[in-house]
Structure 1
Amino acid sequence: AKPGDIQTLLWRAELFLEKYDPGHAEEVVKEVLTQAPNHPEALVWMAHVKLAQALDFDAATRLVNQALKTNPKLGNAHFVLAGINLRDMELADADQHLDDGLKYNPRDLDLLSLKAAVRFLADDDAGFQKAKRKVLKLNPQYSRMFQIVGEYAEWEHRYDEIVEMMREAIKIDSEDAKAEAQLGLNLIRAGNDQEGLKALNSAFDKDAFNVRVFNTLNLYEKTIRKDYESVQEGQFTFRYYKKEKAILERYIPGLMRDAWKAMVKYYGFTPSQPIGVELYAERQDFAIRTSGLPGTAIQGVCFGKTLASMSPYNETFNVGMTVWHELAHVFHIQMSKSHVPRWFTEGMAEYETIVARPEWQREQDQDLFAALRDDRLPKLGNMNKAFTRAEELSDIATAYYASSQILVMLGEKYGRAKLNKMLELWAAGKRTPEVLKLALGKDSTELDKEFAAFTGKLLARYKTQFMPIRRTGPFEDAEDAAKKDPSNARAQTVYALALLRQGKAKQADSALQAAVKADPKFADAIYLQAQLAMAKRDAGEAKRFLKQLITNGDDGYAVRMLLADIAEATGDAAGMKAELEAASKLDPSMAEPVQALVDLATKSKDAAGELDGLRKLAKLEQHDPRVYRRLMERLLEKKELAEARAAGEAATWADLEGMDTHRVFGEVLLASKMVPRAIFEGQSALLCRGRPKDQAKVHDLLARAYAAVPNAKEAAKHRKLATEVLKKAK
């Protein structure tokens, strides 16, 4: 082929996508679009790239619609649109897009395969079998059909059915390496490592360029085999990194037993066993185990019979909250026979952590308020779109929180029995509108009204204060809106914010001047002017703008936090404290002002203020072990031991491999005369990594604890070890 030949380049892009390399696929498609900016096939392949990179449905839809204007007969374009509908479970719309494509080519095998996927997701087995037969009649060896259906089955957690589909694909075409790869990956997800690895090795022999297969085999053969150990305990099979097994197995199995017992009771259901619980020390290993690819931002994942999580070996986070959340998914997926919508299972798993420990919840009221105010949160009937149509990564976190609050509302109003009934109805093949009506006696519109009333109370504090604009949408849209309506204060302010985020401060200032000219009291414009003044280090001007907001009746959390920043920058500690207290009063769910107040109290040796702040902060920062440690230490000093023990219990899960955390908790327990538990925590501390001086402190704790038993021999041993550790360090 000639260099730069468009068709050859598009084939290359398709090949890169086939091998899970969207980055290089994008480079190739861009090369085509440089030559032919409106080339319809190139636009569609760029849509595939956007989906592979970030599931950017909006960008993919725009690209495909642009392609269809040039070539309405393009089957691949209709394939993309139908696939997006399927991920949102909009089956009728998917069918319509497929029909639009098939009227131009009734023998398009990919479109017909996606027709089969629609029937599969609709739980129409007769229709699914008929659709499969239609494809295989046209091409008896078209095993790709099963991969197409399997992609959407995976989206809906239908892992067991994917295994059966891939086996069927291999019967049709024994050389289909991708089907064999999918078979292996899904067998491993189900906990069947032996058969899964056998299938993956066979797939690798047929195609050594499948990176998911290569990565997974490397992980199992070079890392898991050497560095990990599996242990069967009760209904669980645990996989631990050998270097942290000793500490993890002291806590994780007990937590999982407690969670299992609670959930069996709550749901009146016992999942099939054993349940795999895998904890990975390295993020790359965790990512490969869960997706076959080396990058991920998540902490945990559940496959129905197996859950995997990061361990706290290299990352400090609340591992207890994470594995409790993932175990809840086991119940939801199995109880609903893999038919539970994402918004429900994520919301219910968050609800379970809130019930388990009150501090195990997200604090995202401001994010939820902004999403509702800006009409960015889908209605309950389309709540899955909160996950699939996220504009930014932070939108996913908001989707989790919104879903959790929907489930809190449903749990409080209708009770667990009704929530369980919903899972059973999904298992019976009912669609969500019917599930809502049969279980709750309401349709989604009525539930939307109930959620509006619920969030109205939850977020009432924001209605009486200024809450700044946080989102601009695409830059081009903000720019167009500002140009079309130069006298619209909001449009000019949104444009100014978009310009600021692109580093164009001078142009942003001009847009803000236009906004203030249109409406001299437009709060968002004045607030942005204050931020610009701060960026120029003009604290006086920034303060003037913020005081103007307060005078105008536009006081709020954001205003007070910026005033606190100004006070700090000008060395006004008293003013900073006053503004932080005002900010915290305006929004008690925010940790930032409380943390700053704690730091101020510590610096000024205000013990009462520090303790008050730490108590508040411990309820807001479930992933920060430093807060719990400081709280335990201050409570121990005041001999408030019951509260200190409660803080220690919470601290354990936020810092499971923290030597200092276990030691301080041990000190609390020893002061409480709970000697065996104090010794247990001291022993746990010695299993953690730490500096020699910290190890010496642990040995000192254990010496005193054993002396209290009394066990003079062990006490003497640890006194000696405390001295030896320090000597070695010197």
Structure 2
Amino acid sequence: MLACVPVVWSQSAELDQALLDLNEGRYEAVIAELGKEVNSPDTAGVAVTTYLSAFLHSGRYDEGLDEAERLARRFSEDPFVHFMRGRLLARVGSHDQALSEFREAGGLRRNFWFNAIEFAESLQRLGNTRDVDQIASTILSAYKQGYFSTAADLTVAARASAMVGDFHNANAAFRQAYNIDPRNVDNLFHWATVFRTKYNEADARRTFSEAIEINPNRSDLRTGLALAIPGFAAREKLADEAISINSNDAGALSIKASISLLDGNYSEASTQIDRALAIDGSDLSNLGRAAAIALVQDDTLRVQSLEEKALAINARPVHFYITAAQDLSLKFRYSESLDYGLAAMRANPSSSEALAEAGAGLLRIGRADEARRYLDRAFEMDRFNLYVGNMLTLIDEYDSFTTVESENFELVIHSSEAAILGPPILEVAEEAFEAMSAYYPYVPEALIRIEAYNDADDFAVRIAGIPHLGLLGVAFGDVVAINTPGALPGTPYNWARTLWHEIAHTMAIGTSGHRVPRWFTEGLSVYEERKARPEWGRELDLQLYTALDRDRLHHLAEMDRGFTRPEFPGQVLLSYYHASKIVEYLETTFGPEIIPQILVSLRNGDDIGTSLEAATGQSLQALDASLFAMLGDERDAFRRVINGLPDLLGDGGAPSLADPESGGNNRFLQELRTGYAQLELGNLDKAEQHFDEALVLFPNYVDRGNAYEGLASIFRSRNDTEGLTDILERFLAVSDYGVDAAIELTQLYLDKRDTLRAATTLRRTVDVDPYNVESRRLLGDLYLSVGMVDKATGERRAVVALGPIDLARAYYELADVLFLSGDFFAAKRAVLQSLEIAPGFRDAQRLLLMCVDGTE
């Protein structure tokens, strides 16, 4: 191994080639080249370490140990044989024996830095921090005195620096080593590992990838890269590649176990983690993963046994608790996750990693003030931890947030948006809670906490650790976090739908005792959206039935895979919709009581398969067959639309159907395109016929170039307000955005003096574009004209908060509605603010006199 080569030794051409082969992963060649040479009493230590390292890196641990023991019998005084035997023993978890070998090697050779760093790492795994610090300090003293000049030496110094938390010097030493030998794979591996542990995943990925280019046959490079990649499909692929290279790669097997745990495939997860522990039973992280897998299966005796084993290995098994905490958080087990995070901190209050995990667990459930105490301490110890630094920055941002409460909710929102979105958010939240409380038997112990972020970066930090990207909202049990439209400028986004979705998660997670599988709660939330507002339906019928035709929909037993390991673009989003169709089928076929029945069964410890079978009276296979039959029937009804479409599941994503070049061709598209062609020629009657036929074939198409837009254009040309009203109503019935259409329809209702419908229609624009001053002002006027004074007050407060050009009038109008509600003191404050901006504003002056009279 390169890290074990003192360059002062003379080397043969054959040994030089063996070193190159080891670095580039030609392990069989190394063994063949040095197999005879290591048996010579004149063999240099570099040959022994290179030869035995080939067994180590190829996963042939037992063979390597046999060879090391054979060589030890022949050369009992060779420090390099003892050193490598120690490394091989450490790799299989025999740390006590490994320590004995490292001590022997150190006694036989002074300043054996490669041996010292491996000795320290084994001590560290056993919790002997005092000796670790002493060894690391000795190594670093030699480094500072200039004794280390090779890339291999400098890698040792870098590892020692990282070991004592000096990541600045560690990075500098790794870079020095890289400058000397940029192809030293061992240096790249350890450097990338430090990047990953400090949450600098971009540099970790770059560095691991660079090492793999040099050595494609070293499995731990792929395992390390897998842990630095956010996507579970890519992570599993890398783990599989690592296992194909080295079937004894315990880290890769552990990754497989974690993904199976996420999928709810507990049997497979147990098998994989048991394989990992059979290779190295002392790995605290893998013991923690095994504990998490046992806990979700209610196997408390195994959990206790695993913890006792971890404590026997290391009296302060921080990584046992941290891994269990992290795995449990991904299974919605937030309370148990926090317990393990706090246990890690209690095990070693001086561990920055333990403090960080405890802080993250507290922040996850909304206890930011408590989280700060732990995170501050963690960051003081390790300022290179980007994850902790970002969380602290977020907590600092909370000084700019305000808290508003309603009967069942506590809303934490940026102060700049409190008046704009606070009342609408709480209104939607209470509506959702009232609707779902009617059939979900879950009563939160305290107010449900909603956190609304107007900064996408803040939101991303808040949801760190969640197994997916691009989310709009997240539910941590009774804590919900969502983006506001301010976080997503230029992106169509309906915050109300997202909030309803997340509150449905809260109810499902709570009812199930935090045991609901991912696919079921996602399907339930999407279905609850559709039930609440039909226009919120995530209509992906074309993609769904295309996937059905191609046999690319998952069966019930594997539904979670569609979320964790998508096999084609858009599969995650499609999986939400597919799961919602399953939930809808269950409710419509077996009655609304079946959903809470399934959730209660999960809470009682049954898995999802057993819960479904008990609730439906069908085997999982029979239920699966019924579901696919239902989808098949629905697909047949869409056949005229599906046939002739472009590849909706291709690498380029779903194309625009309105594009005549790439949008495919079928009866629906022909009618749509012919309609627009006739419209362009001015043949309005013919265009209307084709658009009408397109809507009969597929009324849910609302993307660019849809039939509703064409018909609306026709009705505007004819000045046909009845037809225009009808088509805008139909469009808004299937579109969850449609701000412009809603504003136009509002005016049509006002022309008919239908003020209530105008107000109801205009209100939906707040769900998508709450920052439109004119819409909010008009909505306030409409509420006032139908006697909804409280809502009118909310809208006028929103207008003031939006900072209109005529702010004096905005304050005056707010004061006016406050006066009407009888709140004379608040009205007086508002009108004084108006007069402070425009002292000569006569209407405001008159209102001030009225306010004074009202308060006397």
- The residue aligned with 2:247 is 72
C-alpha separation in 1, matches of 2:592 and 2:627: 17
RMSD: 3.9
C-alpha spacing 1:433/1:636, structure 2 compared with 1 (3 Å): same
- The residue aligned with 2:215 is 36
C-alpha separation in 1, matches of 2:473 and 2:755: 34
Q: Which amino acid aligns with 2:608?
A: T
- Cα deviation, 1:370-392, whole Å, max 9, x if unaligned, reads 22222222112221122112245
CA contact (8 A) 1:319 1:654 kept: yes
Report which stretch shifted further, 278-287 or 441-450.
441-450
C-alpha spacing 1:47/1:273, structure 2 compared with 1 (3 Å): same
Report which stretch shifted further, 40-49 or 162-171.
40-49
- The residue aligned with 2:452 is 279
- The residue aligned with 1:583 is 694
Q: Which amino acid aligns with 1:77?
A: A
Deviation at 1:94, TM superposition (A): 2.1
Deviation at 1:658, TM superposition (A): 2.9
| 2:202 is the alignment partner of 1:91 | no
Give the SS at the match of 2:535. coil
C-alpha separation in 2, matches of 1:707 and 1:257: 26
Give the SS at the match of 1:279. strand
Q: Which amino acid aligns with 2:533?
A: R
TM-score (norm 2): 0.68
CA contact (8 A) 2:404 2:422 kept: no
C-alpha separation in 1, matches of 2:820 and 2:443: 46
Deviation at 1:338, TM superposition (A): 0.9
C-alpha separation in 1, matches of 2:633 and 2:797: 44
Q: Which amino acid aligns with 2:713?
A: L
Aligned runs of 1:274-353 on 2, under 5 Å? 274-291=447-464, 297-313=470-486, 315=488, 317-353=493-529
One of 210, 216, 236 as aligned partner of 1:61: 236
Deviation at 1:333, TM superposition (A): 1.6
Deviation at 1:707, TM superposition (A): 11
C-alpha separation in 2, matches of 1:722 and 1:557: 62
CA contact (8 A) 1:276 1:307 kept: yes
- The residue aligned with 1:494 is none
| 2:608 is the alignment partner of 1:429 | no
C-alpha separation in 2, matches of 1:337 and 1:87: 17
One of 278, 282, 306 as aligned partner of 1:131: 306
- The residue aligned with 1:219 is 394
CA contact (8 A) 2:598 2:611 kept: yes
CA contact (8 A) 1:657 1:688 kept: no
C-alpha spacing 1:666/1:430, structure 2 compared with 1 (3 Å): same
Deviation at 1:303, TM superposition (A): 0.8
C-alpha separation in 1, matches of 2:387 and 2:795: 42
C-alpha separation in 2, matches of 1:434 and 1:614: 46
Give the SS at the match of 2:370. helix
CA contact (8 A) 2:286 2:320 kept: no
C-alpha spacing 1:667/1:111, structure 2 compared with 1 (3 Å): closer
C-alpha spacing 1:566/1:688, structure 2 compared with 1 (3 Å): farther
| 2:767 is the alignment partner of 1:653 | yes
C-alpha spacing 1:707/1:388, structure 2 compared with 1 (3 Å): closer
C-alpha separation in 1, matches of 2:487 and 2:287: 47
Give the SS at the match of 1:248. helix
C-alpha spacing 1:70/1:666, structure 2 compared with 1 (3 Å): closer
C-alpha separation in 2, matches of 1:411 and 1:626: 35
C-alpha separation in 2, matches of 1:697 and 1:583: 46
C-alpha separation in 1, matches of 2:749 and 2:668: 30
| 2:440 is the alignment partner of 1:267 | yes
CA contact (8 A) 1:271 1:335 kept: no
C-alpha spacing 1:98/1:629, structure 2 compared with 1 (3 Å): same
Q: Which amino acid aligns with 1:15?
A: V
- Cα deviation, 1:410-447, whole Å, max 9, x if unaligned, reads 22222332211211121121111111122222232222
C-alpha spacing 1:63/1:216, structure 2 compared with 1 (3 Å): closer
C-alpha spacing 1:691/1:193, structure 2 compared with 1 (3 Å): closer
- Cα deviation, 1:611-644, whole Å, max 9, x if unaligned, reads 2321111112223322211111112223445543
CA contact (8 A) 1:598 1:614 kept: no
Give the SS at the match of 2:432. helix
Report which stretch shifted further, 128-137 or 156-165.
128-137
Aligned runs of 1:597-612 on 2, under 5 Å? 597-598=710-711, 600-601=713-714, 604-608=717-721, 609-612=723-726
The count of aligned residue pairs is 648
- The residue aligned with 1:411 is 587
CA contact (8 A) 2:325 2:339 kept: no
C-alpha separation in 2, matches of 1:706 and 1:121: 58
C-alpha separation in 2, matches of 1:675 and 1:174: 56
- Cα deviation, 1:39-92, whole Å, max 9, x if unaligned, reads 32223333333xx3322x2x3333333333332222222222222212212122
One of 739, 745, 748 as aligned partner of 1:631: 745
- The residue aligned with 2:188 is 9
Q: Which amino acid aligns with 1:274?
A: L
Aligned runs of 1:683-702 on 2, under 5 Å? 683-684=796-797, 686-687=799-800, 689=802, 692=805
Deviation at 1:703, TM superposition (A): 8.6
CA contact (8 A) 2:198 2:385 kept: yes
C-alpha spacing 1:298/1:605, structure 2 compared with 1 (3 Å): farther
C-alpha spacing 1:236/1:677, structure 2 compared with 1 (3 Å): closer
C-alpha separation in 2, matches of 1:217 and 1:246: 26
Q: Which runs of 5+ in 2 are unaligned?
A: 1-150, 153-180, 843-856
C-alpha separation in 1, matches of 2:310 and 2:648: 46
Q: Which amino acid aligns with 1:304?
A: G
- Cα deviation, 1:171-195, whole Å, max 9, x if unaligned, reads 3223222222121121122232222
- The residue aligned with 2:173 is none
- Cα deviation, 1:464-493, whole Å, max 9, x if unaligned, reads 34152425667xxxxxxxxxxxxxxxxxxx
Report which stretch shifted further, 277-286 or 408-417.
408-417
C-alpha separation in 2, matches of 1:594 and 1:575: 13
C-alpha separation in 1, matches of 2:214 and 2:551: 39
Q: Which runs of 5+ in 1 are unaligned?
A: 475-496, 502-526, 536-541, 550-554, 726-730
- The residue aligned with 1:616 is 730
